[in-house]
Amino acid sequence: MIDGGQSQGPLLLISNLKDQNEYLLTSSRQRWVGWVLRDFAGLPKLVGGVGGQQFAAAIMAEVEAIRQGLEMVISSGVLEPGGSLVVESDSNGLIQMINQEVTADVALDIYLQDIWRMANLFQLVRFCFTPQ
């Protein structure tokens, strides 16, 4: 979540991915990655995503969704100075890597570096595991 002011709660960035193989009978690993930014009341402020991208594993699609979501929050200007952001994901292993609680997978290093760099642009950012 991102805080628009002192009296409101933070805004919430939720990453999401959908395996397109659920809907299309193909052997490819195409995935749809997306994210939703909600305000303190749960109302959507920004929504985005991209379909048909190739990823070797679901965790790579999840980390890309978080990276894209952070990029859009930053570029949109929706976050006011002093605001806070909560990033939620249903990938516990990824959240542990982002929070540096476990050793990061080398294949995710470039994504994680981008996420950590962008996280430094916020006054307060939390990365949380949220089960589906």
The sign of the torsion formed by the CA atoms of 56, 49, 37, 72 equals positive
Q: What percent of the chain has pLDDT over 90?
A: 23
Torsions phi, psi for 116 (to 5 deg): -65, -40
Rounded to two decimals, the pTM is 0.77
Q: Tell me which H or E stretch contains 18.
A: strand 11-19
d(CA 132, CA 130): 6
Q: Is residue 83 part of a domain?
A: yes
How would residue 113 be classed by pLDDT, with cut points 50, 70 and 90?
very high
Whether 4 maps to a domain, the answer reads: no
pLDDT, position 3? 33
Find how far residue 76's CA is from the centre of its chain.
Answer: 15
| Structural domain count of the chain | 1
Give the pLDDT mean for 113-127: 91
End-to-end CA distance of the chain: 17
- Using one digit for the tens of pLDDT, what is the confidence trace for 9-44? 555 656 554 433 333 333 345 567 778 888 878 888
pLDDT at position 30 is: 55
Query: Does any domain span residue 48?
Result: yes
Give dist(CA 72, CA 48) in Å, integer: 8
pLDDT of residue 112: 96
- Eight-state DSSP code of residue 108: G
pLDDT value at residue 20:
36
What pLDDT is stored for residue 48 in this prediction?
A: 81
Which domain, by its residues, includes 24? 11-129
CATH code assigned at 31: 3.30.420.10
Give, to the nearest 10 degrees, the angle between helix 109-119 and helix 58-76.
Answer: 30
